[in-house]
Amino acid sequence: MTSIGKRPTQPRELARAVDRISFLYLERCVVNRDSNAITATDERGTVHIPASSVGVLLLGPGTTVTHQAITLMSDSGSTVVWVGEQGVRYYAHGVSPARSSRLAESQAEAVTNRRSRLRVARAMYEMRFPSEDVSELTMQQLRGREGARIRRVYRRQSERTGVPWSKRNYDTEDWEAGDPVNQALSAANSALYGVVHSVIVALGCSPALGFVHTGHHRSFVYDIADLYKAELTIPIAFDVAAETAMDVGGETRRLLRDAFYGGKLLARCAADIQRLLLSPAERDELPEDYLEFDVISLWDERGDDVQGGTSYGGAS
């Protein structure tokens, strides 16, 4: 006999993405379900975490996750990401809670037109250069300014903390081979990518359709994450390296978690994505609960979509 099971949770019943814990990293434990909480069990005991309070769950090496735990995370609208040691490699992610394609359509339309793609790319750089006019700069000029800016950021953080800096140097196959500041940067950026990825898919956008980055399945993730590195991941990485922490990855993630929460990164990231992909008029028209829409329409070449779930064959 086949069991029907309980009905799926409706979007309006879930905690909003912007109100959740940004990310939770687990490794070397068994992840299970207990009622509406996921549990993490290792030799030290079991911890319960309300599933609907987590934005993205990062599953590191040594984790075993049950079918029931994944079912609960999916039903709670939380993104599950499988990552490598210290969270520095991305492998896969779970289902998106988005019900609307509004932003995805705007993203696809903007990225496939050279003029609108350049407009969005300039807007991204404008966020990083608020005191400069970049409205007439080419992509080559923007890349040059960004490269110079990021070098200044590294130099200033090195001077502030006393941590020597030469260049960004890391091996994705051997995280331990890097010096402490490069290890911290890798751990910090990976956590940032996970959180940004979760917001992007929660809004229904494509992680692959980037405006500055291109050709990678996470191009848009890198675009958005770059907006926050100079403010968040780079200073924290240098702070961790300056303290000569024994657990570089763990300490970096803990400091980032606090910074993400204190700076309301989830809400800020969601707002920035909407600002980049929608005009002011479109943002004003977007209802606060648009992600709760679960309506399927049919495309019509005359311009207006028509209602789905309706027979248009007429009487035979």
Question: What's the confidence (pLDDT) of residue 287?
Answer: 56
113 has pLDDT over 70: yes
Q: Please tell me which residue, 292 or 75, carries the higher pLDDT value.
A: 75
Q: What is the mean pLDDT of residues 223-229?
A: 96
Quick: pLDDT tens for 60-99.
Answer: 889 999 999 988 887 777 778 787 765 556 676 666 656 6
Annotated binding site for Mn(2+): 146, 213, 226
User: Nearest-5° angle of CA 134, CA 140, CA 145?
Assistant: 55
Token pair in block for residue 217: 């399945």
Q: What is the mean pLDDT of residues 266-286?
A: 84
Query: For residue 16, how far is the Cα from the chain centroid?
Result: 15
Domains identified in the chain and CATH numbers: 17-93 (3.100.10.20), 102-280 (1.20.120.920)
Question: What's the confidence (pLDDT) of residue 315?
Answer: 47
Q: Please tell me which residue, 308 or 60, carries the higher pLDDT value.
A: 60
Mean confidence (pLDDT) of the chain = 80
Annotated binding site: 146, 213, 226
Q: What is the mean pLDDT of residues 258-271?
A: 83
Question: What's the confidence (pLDDT) of residue 310?
Answer: 53
- The candidate with the shortest Cα–Cα distance to 129, out of 144, 116, 109, 111, is 144
Other beta carbons less than 10 A from residue 216's beta carbon:
12
User: Nearest-5° angle of CA 15, CA 70, CA 82?
Assistant: 100
Q: What is the mean pLDDT of residues 218-232?
A: 95
106 has pLDDT over 80: yes
Question: What's the confidence (pLDDT) of residue 93?
Answer: 66
Torsion angles phi and psi, residue 306, rounded to 5: -120, 160
Quick: pLDDT tens for 124-134.
Answer: 999 988 888 88
- The candidate with the shortest Cα–Cα distance to 92, out of 103, 101, 83, is 83
Q: Please tell me which residue, 167 or 22, carries the higher pLDDT value.
A: 167
Percentage of the chain with pLDDT > 90? 40
